[in-house]
Amino acid sequence: MNTVRLNITLPDNLAARMNSFIKPRQRSRFIAEAVGQKIAELEEFALKKQLEEGYKARREESLEITKDFENSDLRGWDEY
């Protein structure tokens, strides 16, 4: 895997908390995993937002299709 060297700045308290769990030679891996997880969350959020917008945009069309098939959906069912 290719890597890129970055210089990052963290608040003192966050760095101290990280250092209490992560050994010095494992920080890069830890930060890479944390960033990867956050990016995955952001991508999932963006996808959900796109789907929601798509559903809203096609709402009227979906309702019309549902109405068109309403009679045939109930055909053959006993009346109660």
Single pTM value for the model? 0.67
Please state, in angstroms and rounded to a whole number, the distance separating the CA atoms of residues 22 and 18. 6
What pLDDT score was predicted for residue 74? 67
**From first to last of its 80 residues, what are the pLDDT tens digits of the chain?**
899 999 999 999 999 999 999 999 999 999 999 999 999 999 999 999 999 999 888 888 888 888 888 777 666 677 66
What pLDDT score was predicted for residue 5? 95
What pLDDT score was predicted for residue 79? 67
What single-letter DSSP state applies at residue 77?
P
What single-letter DSSP state applies at residue 51?
H
What pLDDT score was predicted for residue 73? 65
